[in-house]
């Protein structure tokens, strides 16, 4: 019994959410999915450790969730869209999580993205046919 | 008979919905993005489609990872939005067209696209934001909607080519419906973005523009790529661009591009808008 390897495993800094990841992190993602319900978000906040235990998380996963160790949670197999259900009610954006993955500040992460705007209109002008305001 | 009068592409980024709700659409960060939709909105007002089929992926509202259909279609007369975990006010319910949906399901399954039929379907931001950005907010939406869900979340995902072929089958399905409906197909999501991992934050403008040109003139360029090749360029979440190919497959071989717009960044994402009509329908 082996997990098959994939071409996409070679993409650096990337955790493609496939069967292997989904299998190992099922309890974790199920816990995050429960946060669609406000009552579950409140129950978690009232006692995170006990909530994690009820969802069958192991000790290591529980510690990562309680400490909000985003890269650890991601490496443990969590899906990013399910992580968003954990981050956003806590006042953290998916960009804050992105910054945490890279070990940089949220300002630096957003700054790098904003640089994509520089010269964009000229680039589109060159391409031709784009609406440019 | 039902007729496809146009194809649209749009991103479905959550922050877009927040910007609308918070009245930020004319702020500097957002203005160029939202203004780029104006010609599409004007075209929709003028051409008054009866139904819009929204091709999107669910992000963990209707489907959890316990059951993850590759393709699923809403077959109901009403679709509700709900809390995705962020505590936002849900959008007003959307009106479906169950008869049309079931016809599409029958035709698609006959054409060997064995999709999951859903008599209840909660629609998330992937569906809601495209409708909001194209039609503005309403308590009673001015158009009927059909959700068509593609799994772009839990691999294995359908290939880009498979998505294009779904679109080709969807065209046949739509055009064999006996009611005189004017239909628009919207491919949503993308373009390049990666939310996860140390590689989070990539936006590849050159690749995004190549994908947009390909959607207009040469969809084979886009759909000949493997999902790994697309993710290498567009990021793991940028794979959503394969849903644009469903729309493109539903259009004819030759299309006229009535509008194209690109903006970056919106949150972590390169955002593209296209409005296509079949070349045969050209009035010019």
CATH of the domain at A18: 1.10.700.10
ipTM above 0.90, yes or no: yes
Question: B284 falls in which pLDDT band (50, 70, 90)?
Answer: very low
**Residue B137 region, left (φ>0) first, then alpha (ψ -120 to 50), else beta?**
beta
B248-278 as b/e: b if 16+ CB within 10 A: bbbbeeebbbbbbbbbbbbbbbbbbbbbbbb
Residue A123 with chain B: CB contacts under 8 Å: 205, 209
Question: B2 falls in which pLDDT band (50, 70, 90)?
Answer: very high
Which residue do the tokens 């000229």 mark?
A: A122
Domain ranges within chain B, ordered by starting residue? 3-281
Assigned domain for A7 exists: no
pLDDT at A132: 86
pLDDT at B78: 98
> Is the domain of A98 the same as that of A34?
yes
pLDDT at B282: 62
pLDDT > 90? residue B280? no
CB contact (8 A) between residue B87 and residue A17: no
Exposed, middle or buried by CB within 10 Å (0-12, 13-18, 19+), for A5? exposed
Question: B255 falls in which pLDDT band (50, 70, 90)?
Answer: very high
Domain, as residue range, for A85: 12-102
Question: B55 falls in which pLDDT band (50, 70, 90)?
Answer: very high
Question: B234 falls in which pLDDT band (50, 70, 90)?
Answer: very high
The mean predicted confidence, pLDDT, of chain B is 97
SS3 A122: helix
Residue B227 with chain A: CB contacts under 8 Å: 8
Q: Decide: A132 and B260 in contact? Cβ < 8 Å.
A: no
| CATH architecture assigned to B3-281 | 3-Layer(aba) Sandwich (3.40)
User: What is residue B122's DSSP assignment?
Assistant: B
Torsion of CA A101, A105, A110, A114, to 10 degrees: -120
> Is the domain of A79 the same as that of A117?
no
pLDDT > 60? residue B283? no
> Is the domain of A130 the same as that of A95?
no
CB contact (8 A) between residue B199 and residue A14: yes
Residue among B16, B65, B270 with most chain A CBs within 10 A, to mutate: B65
Number of domains in chain A: 2
To the query of whether residue B259 is one of the catalytic residues in this protein, the response is: no
How many Cα atoms occupy the beta-carbon half-sphere of B239 within 13 Å? 26
Dump pLDDT digits (tens) for A58-110. Answer: 999 999 999 999 999 999 999 999 999 999 998 999 999 999 999 999 999 99
Torsion of CA A95, A99, A102, A108, to 10 degrees: 110
């Amino acid at each position: 019994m082996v997990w098959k390897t994939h071409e996409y495993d070679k993409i650096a800094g990337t955790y493609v959410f496939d069967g292997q990841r989904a299998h190992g992190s099922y309890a974790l993602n199920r816990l995050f999915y429960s946060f669609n319900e406000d009552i579950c978000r409140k129950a978690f906040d009232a006692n995170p450790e006990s909530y994690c235990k009820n969802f069958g998380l192991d000790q290591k996963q529980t510690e990562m969730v309680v400490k909000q160790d985003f890269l650890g949670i991601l490496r443990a197999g969590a899906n990013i869209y399910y992580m968003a259900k954990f981050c956003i009610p806590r006042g953290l954006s998916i960009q804050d999580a992105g910054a945490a993955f890279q070990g940089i500040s949220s300002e630096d992460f957003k700054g790098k993205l904003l640089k994509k705007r520089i010269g964009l209109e000229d680039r589109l002008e060159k391409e031709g046919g784009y609406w440019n305001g | 008979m039902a007729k496809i009068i146009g194809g649209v592409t749009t991103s479905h980024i959550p922050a877009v919905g927040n910007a609308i709700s918070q009245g930020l659409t004319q702020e500097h960060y957002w203005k160029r993005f939202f203004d780029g939709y104006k010609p599409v909105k004007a075209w929709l007002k003028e051409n008054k489609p009866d139904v819009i089929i929204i091709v999107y992926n669910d992000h963990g509202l209707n489907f959890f990872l316990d059951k993850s259909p590759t393709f699923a279609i809403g077959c109901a007369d009403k679709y509700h939005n709900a809390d995705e975990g962020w505590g936002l006010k849900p959008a007003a319910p959307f009106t479906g067209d169950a008869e049309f949906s079931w016809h599409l399901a029958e035709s698609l399954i006959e054409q060997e696209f064995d999709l999951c039929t859903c008599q209840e379907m909660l629609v998330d931001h992937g569906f809601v934001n495209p409708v909001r950005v194209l039609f503005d907010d309403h308590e009673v939406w001015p158009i009927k909607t059909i959700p068509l869900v593609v799994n772009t979340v839990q691999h294995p995902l359908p290939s880009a080519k498979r998505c294009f072929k779904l679109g080709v089958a969807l065209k046949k399905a739509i055009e064999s419906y006996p009611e005189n409906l004017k239909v628009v197909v919207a491919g949503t999501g993308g373009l390049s973005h990666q939310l996860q991992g140390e590689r989070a934050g990539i936006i590849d403008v050159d690749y995004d523009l190549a994908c947009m040109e390909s959607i207009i003139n040469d969809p084979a360029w886009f759909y000949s790529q493997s999902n790994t090749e697309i993710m290498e360029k567009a990021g793991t979440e940028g794979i959503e661009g394969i849903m644009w190919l469903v729309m493109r497959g539903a259009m004819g071989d030759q299309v006229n591009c009535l509008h194209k717009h690109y903006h970056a960044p919106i949150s972590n994402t390169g955002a593209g808008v296209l409005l296509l009509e079949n070349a045969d329908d050209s009035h010019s």
